[in-house]
């Protein structure tokens, strides 16, 4: 069941979303050669604690992994698509890219967002990968309009990414969000005709998150049971925003 939110509920989600934005901006500014993904985790834990927020990811149970996630961030480096775990031994170096994905709960409402940051000098192809992924999200956000369809969003991401020579990860998708981190509907980054194509109605909130590989689309999960990587070892980029359907058009809750 898709849960539509009232204006007051959206305002609560907005507070969560803006906190996630502030955290990600701070973490993105920290990214440089020589820091570890654990340094990012430590900083995020402090920011959430100082804000009185609950981490959305920590202790979240995932049946496929068979356990609860231990961290407040997912830090996915280079070929890692999503769910990379912070690690003091994972030192960032020039040419790397790192996806930082996080969420919080404030007053019972969730915010969830992600960005991908380059470390030092990255290749032109990698810059293009990040830009195309970011642009596909912006184009999808513009489709979050009353009366539209979910496939308008999914197809927009797919078309833009494929046209620029990259590939959509199919195993991982976006989602509805509200008083739960993951709600209906699922939001694939491609048109999956096996899924329903609901009409977009005022009060729906979607976490749209393109995950794009520079090479082939296939993914695999490492032995740690969490980290998803591009099977061919190519770099992967990931951006995410929570977007509400309103009578005035799309409202991005996870940025000012």
Domain-located, residue 122: yes
Domain-located, residue 2: no
Domain-located, residue 121: yes
Tokens 């940025």 locate to 255
DSSP 190-201: S--TTS--PBP-
Provide the sign of the torsion angle of the four alpha carbons 158, 77, 229, 125, taken in this order.
Answer: positive
pTM above 0.85, yes or no: yes
Residue 212's CATH number: 3.90.230.10
Inter-residue contact 112 to 242 (CB < 8 Å): yes
pLDDT digits (tens, 9 = 90+) for 76-111: 999 999 999 999 999 999 999 999 999 999 999 999
- What pLDDT is attached to residue 194? 87
Per the structure, how many domains does the chain have?
Answer: 1
Task: Report residue 104 as tokens.
Answer: 């919080």
Sheet strand arrangement including 211-213: 167-168, 211-213, 236-238
The tens-digit pLDDT sequence of the chain (256 residues) is: 999 999 999 999 999 999 999 999 999 999 999 999 999 999 999 999 999 999 999 999 999 999 999 999 999 999 999 999 999 999 999 999 999 999 999 999 999 999 999 999 999 999 999 999 999 999 999 999 999 999 999 999 999 999 999 999 999 999 999 999 999 999 999 998 888 999 999 999 999 999 999 999 999 999 999 999 999 999 999 999 999 999 999 999 999 9
Domain-located, residue 1: no
Q: Which domain holds residue 76?
A: 7-252
Tokens 């920290």 locate to 30
Report CA-CA distances (Å) from 205 to 24, 32, 193. 20, 33, 21
Per-residue exposure over 8-25, b if at least 16 CB sit within 10 Å of its own CB, e if not: ebbebbbbbbbbbbebbe
Task: Report residue 225 as tokens.
Answer: 């049971």
Task: Report residue 165 as tokens.
Answer: 């020579």
């Amino acid at each position: 069941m898709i849960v539509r939110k009232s204006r007051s509920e959206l305002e609560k989600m907005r507070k969560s979303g803006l906190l996630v934005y502030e955290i990600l901006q701070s973490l993105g500014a920290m990214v440089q050669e020589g820091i570890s993904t654990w340094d990012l985790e430590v900083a995020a834990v402090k920011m959430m604690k100082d804000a009185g927020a609950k981490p959305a990811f920590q202790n979240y149970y995932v049946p496929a992994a068979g356990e609860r996630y231990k961290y407040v961030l997912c830090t996915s480096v280079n070929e890692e698509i999503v769910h990379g775990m912070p690690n003091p031994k994972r030192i960032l170096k020039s040419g790397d890219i790192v996806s930082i994905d996080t969420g919080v709960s404030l007053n019972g409402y969730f915010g969830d967002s992600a960005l991908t940051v380059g470390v030092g000098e990255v290749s032109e192809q990698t810059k293009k990968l990040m830009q195309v992924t970011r642009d596909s999200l912006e184009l999808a956000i513009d489709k979050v309009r009353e009366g539209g369809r979910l496939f308008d969003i999914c197809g927009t991401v797919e078309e833009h990414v494929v046209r620029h020579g990259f590939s959509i990860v199919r195993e991982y998708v976006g989602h509805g969000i509200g008083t739960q981190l993951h709600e209906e509907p699922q939001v694939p980054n491609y048109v999956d005709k096996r899924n329903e194509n609901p009409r977009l109605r005022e009060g729906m909130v979607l976490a749209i998150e393109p995950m794009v590989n520079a090479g082939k689309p296939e993914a695999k999960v490492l032995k740690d049971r969490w980290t998803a990587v591009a099977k061919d070892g190519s770099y992967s980029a990931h951006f995410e925003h929570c977007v509400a359907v309103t009578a005035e058009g799309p409202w991005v809750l996870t940025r000012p």
